[in-house]
Amino acid sequence: MKPSELPRRAGVGFKPEHFANINATGQPIGFFEVHAENYMGAGGPPHAQLSRLREDYALSVHGVGLSIGSMQPLEREHLARLKVVCDRYEPESFSEHLAWSTHDSVFLNDLLPLPYTEVTLARVVEHINEVQSMLKRQMLLENPATYLLFEESTIEETAFLSEIARRTGCGLLLDVNNVFVASTNHHMDPRDYLARFPIDHVREIHLSGHSETIDDLGAPLLIDSHDTPVKDPVWALYEELIARTGPIASLVEWDNDVPDWPVLQAEAEAADAILRRAASDLAA
């Protein structure tokens, strides 16, 4: 089973509108990440662009449609298409979400939360083992941004993730923005959450922007919207984390209202600066 070996640099999510800028001159980017489902067709411009990028950059493939947390079986055709993508591009990392998105034959275009119980734990472990066996590579599992809690949950989220990693050998993808969003929504301290997170299993970090709204009761509600720069409190959490762990491959996600390339590049440069400082401090 192939482990994740992304460079301990900052990367960005690849968007086709940025291809000309990226391809014009070499970019100081550690890696690119793509959504697996966008490359499940046989050919065309998406594959032509990604094949060109793959010649020069490390690659992370991020899935959004496996429905790892569903109680129903994984869709075998989707898993087979995912294997074709991974075999074709041999990414340094493959990751998916701790979420579900299917019910019977219906695919829901969202990443939905699940209760943390012994039953759901066993099901997620079963699904991850199936994925890793099919792909013959390690999978990373991402912590969710959540907007509600389940009364039936009996396991704390960080313990749930830790046990999944222990039972399956999978790695973890730590989304710092998701930590901040969920902690704020549930009136918890994100630093306490990060202190309990099984950091030894983390192979990649995500950073992104979020938006602020108000719930039905008039209380603040954060949404993991991926449509703004990384917010200052998330940068602060990230810098504290990296000072403790040392450099970890870190991705800037920006999926909606995508800016021009220089704006996204500047976000990656900010993350890279934090990674360089941490490396320098460890070497001192």
Is the pTM here over 0.85, yes or no? yes
| Residues composing the chain | 284
- The whole-angstrom separation of Cα 282 and Cα 262 is 30
Q: Which CATH number fits domain 10-283: 2.60.40.730, 3.30.70.330, 3.20.20.150, 3.40.190.80?
A: 3.20.20.150
Tell me what pLDDT residue 103 has: 60
Domain edges within the chain: 10-283
pLDDT averaged over 10-residue windows placed end to end, the chain, 284 residues: 79 97 90 97 93 97 94 94 98 95 60 93 98 98 93 97 98 98 96 98 98 85 95 98 97 97 97 96 82
